[in-house]
Amino acid sequence: MTDTSADDSVQFRDDVTVELIKHSAADSDVLWAARVSTAGEQSLAELTKDPERSKGLINFLMRDRHGSPFEHNSMTFFVSAPIFVFREFMRHRVGWSYNEESGRYRELEPVFYVPSTERKLVQQGRPGKYEFVHGSPEQHQSVVDAMEASYRQSYDAYQKMLAAGVAREVARATLPVGLFSSMYATCNARSLMHFLGLRTQHELAKVPSFPQREIEMVGERMEAEWAKLMPLTHAAFNGNGRIAP
């Protein structure tokens, strides 16, 4: 959802954008890589000729954590999300390539994150053993009011510095981590599975993780795109407890 204020250009969003820009990714890539030792075998043909055998091989590779056959594919996503999501995202170093918009070479757009009413606001329990529950309508309103006022103030300060001739790379220091940024992120199925194992919560996960909801929103959208491209691999990931091979 995007809410543009009538009185200025500042936008508030409670969602994220994830688009699959390009891909070369199919279950047959896994089969080809796994069967390369069998000279001349055409795994694409095998996939349709004997789907059960293909499914079984992918499941075996996943279960026994033979990970490298899941690397011979590529997916490039365009992601637009708050900077605090990107800080978490870019901790994923292996099998990921990133390019992010520059705050030095262009003026940053006034697009900021505010949580939706569905976003659980209240943390209960002790560190390491807590859960999130819904806040009251009053708590949600106070979050929206505080964030919007703060965002407007910081973006106004940014604009004033730019108008006074200050460089973008200096003026941006006043902008908060709720500002939206955008990036291209390229991965393969193996690195995506590792990311999903850590950044999504799922009833089938053998090792539960407790990610921040906003990076999970990005992960869920990526997973939906990937599942369409590699349905057998996705099913084997779920069937083996969502542990990356």
Ligand X SMILES: Cc1cc2nc3c(=O)[nH]c(=O)nc-3n(C[C@H](O)[C@H](O)[C@H](O)COP(=O)(O)OP(=O)(O)OC[C@H]3O[C@@H](n4cnc5c(N)ncnc54)[C@H](O)[C@@H]3O)c2cc1C
Place of tokens 């529950």: 133
Query: Annotated binding residue at 225?
Result: no
Query: Annotated binding residue at 134?
Result: no
151 touches 190 (CB < 8 A): no
Binding mask of the shown chain, residues 184 to 203, with x at each position contacting ligand X by CB under 6 A: ----------x---xx----
| φ, ψ (nearest 5 deg) of residue 90 | -75, 0
Regarding 205 and contact with ligand X (CB under 6 A), the answer is no
Residue choice 67, 211, 239, 241 for contact with ligand X (CB under 6 A): 211
Identity of the residue, 53 or 87, whose beta carbon is nearer to ligand X in the bound complex: 87
How many helical (H) and strand (E) elements, i.e. helices and strands, does the chain have? Answer: 9, 9
Catalytic residues: 199
Query: Annotated binding residue at 168?
Result: no
- Name the β-bridge partners of 102: none
Regarding 91 and contact with ligand X (CB under 6 A), the answer is yes
- Name the β-bridge partners of 165: none
Regarding 130 and contact with ligand X (CB under 6 A), the answer is no
Q: Which two tokens stand for residue 115?
A: 């949580």
Identity of the residue, 127 or 165, whose beta carbon is nearer to ligand X in the bound complex: 127
CA distance 96 to 62: 20
Residue choice 6, 39, 94, 163 for contact with ligand X (CB under 6 A): 94
- Name the β-bridge partners of 120: none
Identity of the residue, 98 or 144, whose beta carbon is nearer to ligand X in the bound complex: 98
Do the bridges between strand 111-113 and strand 11-13 make them parallel or antiparallel, or are there none, so unpaired? parallel
What residue ranges bind ligand X (CB under 6 A)? 91-94, 194, 198-199, 209-211
